[in-house]
Homo-oligomer: A and B are copies of this chain.
């Protein structure tokens, strides 16, 4: 399974935002939507072996599972509506138990460190970083969990958390990309078995 942890520093944790202003009033929810769909969708289908964890303001985490999610479309607006619906159910998440607003969507009351802690046993935590090694140096991780920040970089506290959990620090190419582009490139590297099979 491939997992992606996407940090959103400004996306609201309540559903009180307009779908008409995702880039502004909703704290760049547009970008988070693109990351979600880049991770889960390809042409004519869903990537079933993928889970995405959207960490909102280090407070709530929405996890979306490719095996279960239904009717996810690639456009930002309908994806944002799905996230808004998930946030409407946030109060149903109690302790470690998630709310389950729709198939494949879970809302957890946990932030970044707790999300990484959940993943650490099962996955290789991969920190995408411009000073890391190319992903294809050494064996490809079989159960990777890629960690990406939004348009804002990781905070100092997030870097400390990451340092505690990171198994590999990896760069994908010579240029810094948007998070959704980085997700697409990571999928491509894995889809091709490290650029060996096209």
**Chain B residues with CB under 8 A of A184:** 177, 181, 184-185
Give chain A's interface secondary structure class: loop
Give 19 new A-B contacts, CB below 8 A, not counting A30-B75, A76-B76, A135-B198: A20-B77, A22-B77, A23-B77, A30-B76, A30-B77, A34-B34, A34-B74, A42-B175, A42-B176, A43-B151, A43-B175, A43-B176, A43-B177, A43-B178, A134-B198, A173-B188, A181-B184, A184-B184, A195-B195
Inter-chain contact B178/A31, CB cutoff 8 Å: no
Least distance between A80 CB and chain B CB atoms (Å): 10
**Chain B residues with CB under 8 A of A34:** 34, 74
A178 to B34, CA, bound (A): 12
A13 to B142, CA, bound (A): 46
A-side interface size class: 35 or more
8 closest A-B pairs by CB: A134-B198, A30-B75, A43-B176, A195-B195, A23-B75, A184-B184, A181-B184, A185-B188
The answer, among B20, B173, B185, B191, for a CB contact under 8 Å with A20, is B20
**Chain B residues with CB under 8 A of A178:** 41-43, 74
A51 beta carbon closer than 8 Å to chain B: no
A16 beta carbon closer than 8 Å to chain B: no
A138 beta carbon closer than 8 Å to chain B: no
Inter-chain contact A173/B192, CB cutoff 8 Å: yes
Q: Which of A117-146 contact B (CB under 8 A)?
A: 134-136
**Chain B residues with CB under 8 A of A30:** 74-77
